[in-house]
Amino acid sequence: MKRLASLFLVSLCMMQAVVLIAQAIKKPEPTFALSIEEDKNAARIHPGLYRLLVKFTRVTIGAEVEQFHEEAMGMYEMIVLHDGLPATETDAMRDLRAYRKADDNPTLRNARLLKTGESWTIPLDVSDYYDMTGLGAYQITVTRESLPLHLAHNLPYSTTVRSNTINIVVSQGTGGTSAQTAKKAMPRFALVLSAEDPGDVPPLFLRVELDNTSNSVIRERKCWPFMGMYNLVVLRDGELVDVKDGIERLRKSRAAVACPGNETLLEVKPGAFYADRVPLSNFYVEKPGSYSVYVTRETYPYNPAKSVLVESNAISFVVPEPPPVNDTSPMNTPSHAPQ
């Protein structure tokens, strides 16, 4: 009997421990709700652009600073089905995930104090992240974790909040605007090119200054081996110069999206700039002639729907012909007879 009583007490204690653990990790109710709708004016910006308006509303009593990370799309996730099947992700979606993974300790620069019933709305260009070029119906839902930052640590306590689901039908001629009537996207930066050392002819390194001309922070993942995603254009005596094999390898590496080396998070505030070095001598043969060099870069390298190609100023320099070799052999040295 004593043994049975002991086993009963042990079982009772274990059950109580399980109940306590379950209570301890009970997920709190989310403090917000989500709703989405399609922005019907998106096609005026670019044909084929599909944009959501995501509304975040505080539903609990009281006021609180909500965690909101604008540069990582507010930590929103998208569920996109094309005629009932998962839509194909674009390189931009994979790049955004890599950005979030690298940005494991973000600074909240857009925290907002919301009272009960208050909300804010942000645009979310779903066609940047999922291929919506195919005809048919797309069912779209947006989700967000109640504790999106440091999710690995908050997972037991975070709740997934889902928006309503909307349908967007892509048909032939959808949007009602043509490329001629669509509003051209504005570049968010300007490029200023100069020689890093004006005394070097030809320049060994170029200095590329990316000036933020927009009214928002430019924040993106920088892969150092990708050379800032800049493209070099070099002309010699008015004709394009053939590139070395290094440029071709660089282009193939960029196309693979995944960074093959070190990467950091780049942040440029409105009105500020970021300077990069481009090793000109690594990629082009130095032959005599008159040179003109400039660089180009896409504003959104992996988001073609809203990207604009930005071109820098050009710099010029002349690589002179090598000096003639003087033949100073004894046979050709004039002799002077003694007087």
53 vs 123: CA distance, rounded Å: 5
Least confident residue range of 159-163, 181-185, 201-205: 181-185
CB 221 within 8 A of CB 98: yes
pLDDT value of position 8: 47
Q: How confident is the model at residue 159 (pLDDT cuts 50, 70, 90)?
A: confident
Highest mean pLDDT among 93-107, 119-133, 215-229: 119-133
Q: What is the average pLDDT across 41-47?
A: 75
Give the 3-state secondary structure of residue 127.
helix
For the chain, list the domains and their CATH numbers. 28-170 (2.60.40.2970), 189-319 (2.60.40.2970)
Digit-coded pLDDT (tens) for 75-102: 789 999 999 899 999 877 877 777 777 6
Q: How many CB atoms lie within 10 A of CB 204?
A: 15
Sheet holding 206-212, edge to edge: 189-195, 206-212, 273-278
Q: What is the rounded average pLDDT of the residues 203-230?
A: 87
Q: Which of 4-13, 85-94, 201-210, 230-239 is predicted least confidently?
A: 4-13
DSSP 10-29: HHHHHHHHHHHHHHHTPPPP
Q: Mean pLDDT in the chain?
A: 78
Min mean pLDDT across 207-221, 222-236, 253-267, 294-308 is at: 253-267
Q: Comparing 214 with 64, which gets the higher pLDDT?
A: 214
Q: 197 — phi, psi (to 5°)?
A: -125, 105
pTM for this predicted structure: 0.57
Instruction: Determine the Cα–Cα distance for residues 130 and 89; give it in Å rounded to an integer.
Output: 4
Q: Apex CA 78: angle with CA 77 and CA 82, to 5°?
A: 160
- Both tokens of 336, joined, read 């002077």
Cα-Cα-Cα-Cα torsion 232, 217, 152, 86, nearest 10 degrees, comes to: -70
- Give, rounded to a whole angstrom, the gap between the first and last alpha carbons of the chain: 140
In this prediction, residues 11-31 reach a mean pLDDT of 58
Mean pLDDT value across residues 271-287: 85
pLDDT of 57-79, one tens digit each? 989 887 666 655 555 566 789 99
Handedness of CA 212, 218, 219, 222 (dihedral sign): negative
Phi (first) and psi of residue 315, to 5 degrees: -115, 150
At residue 242 the predicted structure's pLDDT band, cuts being 50, 70 and 90, is: confident
In sequence order, the 6+-apart residues with CB closer than 8 A to the CB of 90 are 128, 129, 130, 131, 302, 303
Q: Which of 32-41, 171-180, 183-192, 213-222 has the highest mean pLDDT?
A: 32-41
SS (HEC) of 245-280? HHHHHHHHHHHCCCCCCCEEEEEECCCCEEEEEECH
Mean pLDDT of 33-55: 86
